[in-house]
Amino acid sequence: MRRVAFGALLAAFAALPALAEVEMIDTDGDSMASFDEMATVYEGFTEEQFGALDTDGDGLLSDEELVAAMDAGTLESIGD
């Protein structure tokens, strides 16, 4: 029973890889990654790097922006 539940959980994560990224960075629960949240997770993260990732310029990184950066290799996935 436990094994089945765990497998289902893994399948859910595999189906929704995008959701996991911002959730690992987001500490205030707004589903967006602020510069402070990024700097906490990524040592030596600069505002310049943040600006490059914030493609819509709203001052926050959406899950979409994070995933795009990880897909492009600009940002290391912290899930690995």
Residues 31-50 contacting Ca ion, CB under 5 A:
32
Contact between 60 and 11 under an 8 Å Cβ cutoff? The reply is: no
Q: Binding of Ca ion at residue 71 (CB under 5 A)?
A: no
Residue 21 binds Ca ion, judged by CB under 5 A: no
Interface pick for Ca ion out of 28, 36, 47, 64 (rule CB under 5 A): 28
Pick one of 6, 10, 30, 78: the residue that binds Ca ion (CB under 5 A).
30
Rg (C-alpha) for the chain, rounded Å, is 14
Buried b (16+ CB within 10 A) or exposed e, 46-65: eeebbeebbeeeeebbbbeb
Q: How far is the CB of 24 from Ca ion (least distance, A)?
A: 11
Exactly one of 7, 10, 17, 56 binds Ca ion (CB under 5 A); which one? 56
Contact between 75 and 69 under an 8 Å Cβ cutoff? The reply is: yes
